[in-house]
Homo-oligomer: A and B are copies of this chain.
Amino acid sequence: MGITEGPRSRQRARAERAAVDKFERRRAEIADSALVTLAANGYAHTGLRDIAQNSDFSHGVVHYYFSDKLDLMQHCIRQYKQDCVKQYDEILETATTSVELRDGFAEAMAETLRDESTLHRMWYDLRNQSMFTAELVGVIKEIDLLLEQMIWRVVERYADLADSPPTITSPVAYALYDGLFLRSLIDFLAGDLEALETLRRECAALLVRLCP
């Protein structure tokens, strides 16, 4: 490495980088496809075959890019976060009053429930798997932490705007919001349309409750 490297080696390095990029790009594409199928059928009823079939890739390709079903699952879970946390940070940045933040956040939660219910049941399904499958614990923790931090940023900012410090810790706040969301998700998927309104109302109410 260094000055003595000739053009040949540089070329090879570039090629390797490009190959790695392509490799990762493919993995991402496949995982994207897999997420759709997982969201539709659930972990227990999703085979690698189904995933391949619902994608542009062949059965063999999936195995080429992932060493394992678990390998793919881990990648899927990581990919999930990208479709997930973004929108909430926008609200944080634009809200100027505590009420605006509270209602904006509550509305965003309800929208998430309405528009991405199947994606989120998949999340809960995979998180559940992690209680049975040690290999998934790590990656699940990663995402759980990300979600917890997102919730906590909302709570802290709300406390700031409302000028009343939170009486709770970050993990507990996340646990409570998660409980609220999961309940609403179950009800919503069981056909209860009021679940949307309930979730909105209670998300707002909980924010107040946590910063009394």
Considering only CB atoms, which chain B residue lies closest to A188 in the complex? Answer: B131
Q: Is the CB of A131 within 8 A of B121?
A: yes
Would you call the interface of chain A mostly helix, strand, loop, or mixed? helix
Oligomer copy total? 4
- CB contacts (< 8 Å) of A209 on chain B: these are 167, 209
Interface size on A, residues (CB 8 A): 41
How near does chain B come to A12, taking the closest CB pair, in angstroms?
14
Residue among A41, A44, A198, A212 with the most chain B CB within 10 A?
A44
A202 within 8 A of B: yes
How near does chain B come to A26, taking the closest CB pair, in angstroms?
17
Complex Cα spacing A45 to B41, Å: 16
Could you list 27 examples of A-B contacts with CB < 8 Å?
A: A42-B129, A42-B131, A42-B133, A44-B44, A44-B132, A124-B128, A125-B128, A127-B186, A130-B186, A130-B190, A131-B189, A140-B186, A144-B186, A171-B198, A172-B180, A172-B202, A175-B180, A175-B182, A175-B183, A175-B184, A176-B176, A176-B179, A176-B180, A176-B206, A179-B179, A179-B180, A209-B209
